[in-house]
């Protein structure tokens, strides 16, 4: 073996520079992994303490949630019922409206309309949720009370509807992206068969974009389940095992706010409940993400 000539010799400074950059990038990537791991670790550790005192069967099957009372009950179903009911109302608003908006923007709107409408839509997603909360409490609830006089001042319905309005931009924007990504060749194929614009949108474009649209819906569900402020302000924070949206109720998230802002001593079982509730919430959103992942794989676009 001969000694390489000067021009082909290894450049050590370049080699070191590359290594340094690699290390910095790795470190940055590790931050997110570390944070996630740390959150899971704390949640599990603190929940462990909680479950030392409260049996898991009580947690899952008790029908009362009164952790701050002398006669304490820890039935998470009570909070989950609030979360499920308000999310269901929100999705009943957001999914149909969001999908229709997406179809309009992607398939029907002229270029100029889309350029104006889309930023406005995205602005809707940028409004702080506390404002939505008071909008529900002070505007929508009185309005609904004119139609249903028996509706209490705090209720899951009004909070759910406003939450749905908040989620519309996420559903619409992501669905629209998915539909716009459908190749023009498919649309042309449909038009060439004599299809109208509506037939092309509903029979070819939407089915082609189904995985992206499903992902948009799943994101909407995650947003609804994780939403806190609107529910804390407008839904009443009263633990209530009900699936009736016209009643007040507390959700997993609004309970966590309530306890975290209260004056419970750290380390008490009452305080410990928020970790158990947080763990439940995390498992719930994890489940939705897994469903979303599965659906993306199953209905992957085949153009």
Partner 1 sequence: MIAHAEHDVAEVVPPLKAEARNLSFHYGSFQALKNINMPVYERKVTSLIGPSGCGKSTYLRCFNRMHDLYPGNRYDGTIEFHPDRTDLLSKAVDPIEVRMRISMVFQKPNPFPKSIYENVAYGLRVRGESARSVIDDKVEAALKGAALWGEVKDRLKELGANLSGGQQQRLCIARALATDPELLLFDEPTSALDPIATANIEELISELKERVTILIVTHNMQQAARISDYTAYMYLGEMIEFGVTDQIFIKPRRKETEDYITGRFG
Distance, in Å, from the CA atom of 78 to the CA atom of 225, rounded to the nearest integer, reads 15
The answer to whether residues 102 and 175 touch, using CB atoms and an 8 Å cutoff, is yes
Place of tokens 């608003």: 93
Q: Among 3, 56, 192, 261, which residue sits at the site for partner 1 (rule: CB under 8 A)?
A: 192
- Report the residue number, 156 or 205, with the smaller CB distance to partner 1: 205
State how far Cα 236 lies from the chain centre: 21
Note whether 203 binds partner 1 by CB under 8 A.
yes
Note whether 298 binds partner 1 by CB under 8 A.
no
Note whether 17 binds partner 1 by CB under 8 A.
no
Helix (H) or strand (E) holding 203: none
- Report the residue number, 142 or 183, with the smaller CB distance to partner 1: 183
Distance, in Å, from the CA atom of 75 to the CA atom of 67, rounded to the nearest integer, reads 9
The answer to whether residues 66 and 72 touch, using CB atoms and an 8 Å cutoff, is yes
Place of tokens 């609004």: 254
Q: Among 51, 191, 202, 291, which residue sits at the site for partner 1 (rule: CB under 8 A)?
A: 191
- What is the closest distance, in whole angstroms, from the C-beta atom of residue 188 to partner 1 in the complex? 7
Q: Among 142, 183, 262, 267, which residue sits at the site for partner 1 (rule: CB under 8 A)?
A: 183
Q: Among 117, 195, 259, 269, which residue sits at the site for partner 1 (rule: CB under 8 A)?
A: 195
- What is the closest distance, in whole angstroms, from the C-beta atom of residue 211 to partner 1 in the complex? 10
Stretch that binds partner 1, among 50-58, 70-78, 80-88, 191-199 (CB under 8 A): 191-199
Residue 137: is it exposed, middle or buried by C-beta count within 10 angstroms (0-12/13-18/19+)? Answer: buried
Stretch that binds partner 1, among 69-77, 82-90, 167-175, 196-204 (CB under 8 A): 196-204
**CA–CA distances in Å: residue 21 to residues 12, 14, 15, 26, 171:** 14, 11, 10, 9, 38
Q: Among 68, 77, 88, 186, which residue sits at the site for partner 1 (rule: CB under 8 A)?
A: 186
Note whether 115 binds partner 1 by CB under 8 A.
no
Stretch that binds partner 1, among 4-12, 161-169, 201-209, 283-291 (CB under 8 A): 201-209
**CA–CA distances in Å: residue 184 to residues 29, 97, 110, 188, 303:** 37, 25, 16, 6, 11
The answer to whether residues 159 and 235 touch, using CB atoms and an 8 Å cutoff, is yes
- Report the residue number, 144 or 195, with the smaller CB distance to partner 1: 195
> Residue numbers of the site for partner 1 (CB under 8 A)?
183, 185-196, 199, 203-204, 207-208, 210, 301-303
């Amino acid at each position: 073996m001969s000694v390489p000539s000067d021009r082909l010799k290894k450049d050590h400074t370049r080699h070191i520079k590359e290594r340094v950059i690699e290390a910095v990038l790795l470190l940055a990537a590790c931050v997110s992994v570390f944070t996630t791991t740390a959150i899971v670790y704390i949640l599990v550790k603190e929940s462990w303490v909680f479950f030392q005192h409260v049996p898991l069967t009580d947690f899952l099957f008790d029908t009362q949630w009164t952790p701050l009372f002398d006669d304490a009950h820890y039935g998470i179903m009570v909070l989950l019922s609030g979360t499920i009911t308000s999310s269901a109302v929100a999705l009943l608003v957001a999914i149909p409206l969001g999908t229709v908006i997406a179809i309009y923007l992607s398939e029907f709107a002229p270029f100029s309309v889309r350029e104006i409408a889309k930023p406005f839509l995205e602005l809707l997603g940028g409004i702080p949720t506390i404002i939505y909360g008071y909008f529900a409490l002070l505007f929508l609830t009185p309005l609904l009370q004119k139609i249903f006089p028996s509706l209490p001042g705090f209720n899951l319905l009004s909070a759910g509807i406003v939450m749905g309005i908040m989620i519309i931009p996420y559903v619409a924007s992501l669905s629209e992206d998915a539909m716009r990504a459908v190749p023009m060749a498919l649309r042309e194929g449909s038009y060439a068969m004599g299809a109208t614009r509506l037939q092309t949108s509903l029979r070819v474009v939407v089915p082609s974009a189904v995985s992206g649209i499903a992902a948009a819906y799943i994101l909407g569900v995650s947003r609804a389940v994780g939403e806190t402020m609107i529910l804390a302000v407008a839904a009443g924070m009263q633990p209530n095992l009900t699936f009736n949206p016209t009643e007040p109720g507390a959700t997993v998230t609004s309970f966590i706010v309530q306890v975290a802002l209260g004056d419970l001593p750290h380390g008490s079982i009452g305080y410990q409940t928020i970790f158990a509730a947080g763990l439940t919430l995390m498992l719930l959103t994890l489940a939705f993400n897994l469903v979303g992942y599965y659906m993306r794989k199953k209905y992957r676009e085949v153009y």
